[in-house]
Amino acid sequence: MILFADLHIHIGRAGCGAPVKITASSDLTVDRILKECVERKGIQMAGIVDCASPPVLDDLRLLLEQGELTALPGGGLDYRGKVTLLLGAEIELPGPRGGNAHFLAFTPTFEAMEELSRFLSRAVTNISLSCQRADLETHQVHDFVINELGGIFLPAHAFTPFKSVYGSCVNRIAELGLEFSALELGLSADTYLADMLHELASVQFLSNSDAHSLPKIAREYNKLELAKPDFAHLCRSLAGDPENRILANYGLDPRLGKYHRTFCLQCEAVVEGPPPVGQCPKCGSNKVVVGVLDRITAIADEQEPVHPDRRPPYIHQVPLEFIPGVGKKTLTRLLGTFGTEMSILHEASVEDLAEVVGPKIAENIAAAREGRLAVAAGGGGRYGRVKHQER
Ligand SMILES: [Zn+2]
Ligand SMILES: [Zn+2]
């Protein structure tokens, strides 16, 4: 079966009201996320990355007892036969030479996630909160998740400044002394950029939303072909099994991401000019947030991407909220007619779109599909913008 998977979704608040990810919207609860995936997004596999938080475990336990969620034999939790919930945790770990990086861990079962929660609780300040820095070595967590729990462990948003393996820890993942089957690209990178690093040729790329609010779910996602929509078959796809595979990555044009280009903190502006830029060309300041494009260009083995044979295509998409003219009302009207954002962005014909929202917005959606929208790159925590339409 073909399914769409977004494997990086945060919880804002647990059902009891306890905050989990403080910077995330409070309507991000387990059941609201699952409903959003079914009703608006058209996502069939959802990775929730704050499941090690005990209040979230309580919510999951309740949904299991009520029969809203049921454990799948191959791992993962089924929601009404429509979505597979993958139990995940985002963990911050110290790099070998200073700097911290985020990793994603997924476990096959609820019980294994309880174990991971107990394991991490001894090494973090507050296990109830998301993305806590654990006082452990990366290999310790890696080995525990893979060997003890039968889980998945991979670098999150691997190139972003501040909290990622390449962005703030190492020039080569090999320096960690670990091998990963998969890596999350992050919003400001894509396959074309990541394949400039040789060591990633054998690594599968995932494109996930890192959603901090309901509308942002599925702004990036993966198209998978799995014999069954469960944990075990997802694992096979990451191991390079030809029967279970990642068919495509869908993600933002990386220029729209928050950290695509270097940002000067003195000028408070995104720099221009050919990458890599490590110093502001305008004021000469070194106080910059290095952009993902600049970082990858600085450490790349190649000037051009070298894709391994089995690398699936990376399809750029402009989320509807970025498209000029699409506000809340327009979006509601579009959803009313076409069902999910997936069908608006990828399936509906321009003629059908035009009947609902008029020719101008329909043309903007078409331009977004074909990569014809002009984009001003983001940086330093500010998203890129769609400028105007190129004809
Ligand atoms: Zn993170
Ligand atoms: Zn995250």
Residues within 5 A (CB) of ion ligand 2: 90, 210
Span from the CA of 360 to the centroid of ligand 2 (angstroms)? 35
Q: Contact at 8 Å (CB) between 219 and 73?
A: no
Give one word for 325, left, alpha or beta, with left for phi > 0 and alpha for psi -120 to 50: left
DSSP-assigned beta bridge partners for residue 77? 71, 85
* Residues ≥6 apart with Cβ < 8 Å to 346: 317, 369
Ligand nearest to the CA of 6: 2
Give one word for 139, left, alpha or beta, with left for phi > 0 and alpha for psi -120 to 50: alpha
| Domains defined along the chain, listed by start | 2-253 (3.20.20.140), 319-370 (1.10.150.20)
Measured between alpha carbons, how far is 362 from 359 in angstroms, rounded to an integer?
5
- The pLDDT value recorded for residue 391 is 47
Ligand nearest to the CA of 157: 1
Q: What is the pLDDT of residues 218-248, one digit of tens each?
A: 999 999 999 999 999 999 999 999 999 999 9
For residue 346, which of 325, 322, 375, 320 has the smallest C-alpha distance?
Answer: 320
Span from the CA of 308 to the centroid of ligand 2 (angstroms)? 28
Span from the CA of 213 to the centroid of ligand 2 (angstroms)? 11
Per-residue pLDDT of the chain (391 residues; tens, 9 = 90+): 999 999 999 999 999 999 999 999 999 999 999 999 999 898 999 999 999 999 999 999 999 999 999 999 999 999 999 999 999 999 999 999 989 999 999 999 999 999 999 999 999 999 999 999 999 999 999 999 999 999 999 999 999 998 999 999 999 999 999 999 999 999 999 999 999 999 999 999 999 999 999 999 999 999 999 999 999 999 999 999 999 999 999 999 999 999 999 999 999 999 999 999 999 999 999 999 999 999 999 999 988 999 999 899 999 888 888 898 899 999 999 999 998 888 898 889 999 999 999 999 999 999 888 888 889 999 999 999 998 654 4
Q: Contact at 8 Å (CB) between 180 and 152?
A: no
Measured between alpha carbons, how far is 214 from 43 in angstroms, rounded to an integer?
13
For residue 232, which of 5, 48, 79, 76 has the smallest C-alpha distance?
Answer: 76
DSSP-assigned beta bridge partners for residue 314? 249
- The pLDDT value recorded for residue 318 is 87
Q: Are strands 269-270 and 263-264 parallel, antiparallel or unpaired?
A: antiparallel
- The pLDDT value recorded for residue 255 is 94
- Secondary structure class of 183 (helix, strand, coil): strand
Span from the CA of 137 to the centroid of ligand 1 (angstroms)? 17
Dihedrals phi, psi of 116, to nearest 5 degrees:
-65, -40
- Which 3-state string (H, E, C) describes 49-69? CECCCHHHHHHHHHHHHCCCE
Give the DSSP H or E segment for 154.
strand 152-155
**Cis before 276 (ω within 30):** yes
206 to each of 157, 181, 189, 263, 268, how far by Cα in Å? 9, 11, 11, 26, 31
Measured between alpha carbons, how far is 33 from 274 in angstroms, rounded to an integer?
40
Q: Which residue has the tokens 């597979």?
A: 84
Burial class (CB in 10 A: 0-12, 13-18, 19+), 336: exposed
Span from the CA of 130 to the centroid of ligand 1 (angstroms)? 9
Give the DSSP H or E segment for 33.
helix 30-36
Span from the CA of 283 to the centroid of ligand 1 (angstroms)? 31
Span from the CA of 282 to the centroid of ligand 2 (angstroms)? 33
Q: What is the DSSP letter of 199?
A: G
